[in-house]
Amino acid sequence: MLKIAVQKSGRLYEDSMRLLKECGIELNNGNKQLKAVALNFPLEVYFLRDDDIPQYVFDGVADIGIVGENVVLEKGKEVRSVYRLGFGRCRLSIAVPKSFEYAGPLSLNGIRIATSYPHILQRYLDEQSLSAEIHEISGSVEIAPGIGLADAICDLVSSGSTLFTNGLREVAVILQSEALLVANNQLNDEQRQLLDKLLMRINAVKSARKNKYILMNAPNHQLANITALLPGMKSPTIVPLAEEGWSSVQSVVNVDDFWEVMEKLKSFEAQGILVMPIEQMIV
Ligand code: ATP
Ligand code: MG
């Protein structure tokens, strides 16, 4: 059995559960207990506060975990990052009240900064050779300047709307973060094999989301151009149509290049282009 720690509720919960589901893992967790067992994969899921996950994985109570990079760095526990999951994206930033005259990092010298991330903040201050007074608080950091507890804050930001409603302005980004899959450093062979199996599935899900399946009809004299444009996974599938001189072409296209590829296909006289999502992609 591989044991995975995930956040029990909060910003990472939904995406973590969705990832397991897309990996084909079903849980019997009807009434949200502390622990759930997968029905069709040797996996046990522990639902925890995100702050505790690095410690549990470090101690080996859980073998792997899904947690924000910000939390991993703050806790400083030696765990191995095995996959950048691409959700839970945010940044850890320094923000000051609108009236604060910020003229660069030197403006932080000697001020009081409230944060739940004292270690990451201290490291940033050291790197910049700055000295500021760090006030560690565990929540609602954004109200600290308003109540006179601090001159500035260092907190997680995604859209910036919380800062805005509290009359704060983001002046420096000190960390870009996303959810990580982390693992204990001393997994045994069996656990490592299970982790590899899970990683193979995660890769399949993530590659699938980055690609689309594409199908079209094209005149035979353009097939060389289209094949060069759409290399696909190995090379495109080309099947002759009943109509003389035409073929059906099937391939895979990266979503980042999607519109550019579409325009070129049109210029190569492709017709009846169908684009479909891919559920799983094993390369
Ligand atoms: P817990 O009860 O588990 O301790 P929490 O309140 O500490 O939860 P959440 O607010 O649910 O934590 O955030 C969990 C993680 O989501 C953060 O550590 C961070 O990695 C990520 N995240 C993404 N966007 C944001 C954001 N705008 N604000 C805070 N966290 C964010
Ligand atoms: Mg937390």
Number of H helices, E strands in the chain: 8, 15
pLDDT of 152 reads 98
- CA 180, 54, 153, 107 torsion: positive or negative? negative
Model confidence over 126-178: pLDDT tens digits?
A: 999 999 999 999 999 999 999 999 999 999 999 999 999 999 999 999 999 99
Model confidence over 66-88: pLDDT tens digits?
A: 999 999 999 999 999 999 999 99
52 Cα: distance to centroid of ligand 2 (angstroms)? 8
Model confidence over 16-47: pLDDT tens digits?
A: 999 999 999 999 866 668 999 999 999 999 99
- Ligand 1 residue neighbourhood (C-beta within 6 Å): 7, 10-12, 49-51, 68, 70-71, 88, 90, 156, 158, 177
Runs of H (alpha helix) within the chain: 13-22, 53-59, 69-75, 118-127, 161-165, 189-210, 223-229, 258-267
pLDDT of 278 reads 94
Position 188 pLDDT exceeds 70: yes
Output the DSSP codes for 48-81: E-GGGHHHHHHHTSSSEEEEEHHHHHHHT---EE
With CA atoms as reference, report the closest residue to 184 among 43, 268, 81: 81
50 Cα: distance to centroid of ligand 1 (angstroms)? 8
* pLDDT-above-90 percentage for the chain: 95
The CA-based angle 201-204-205, given to 5 degrees, is 90
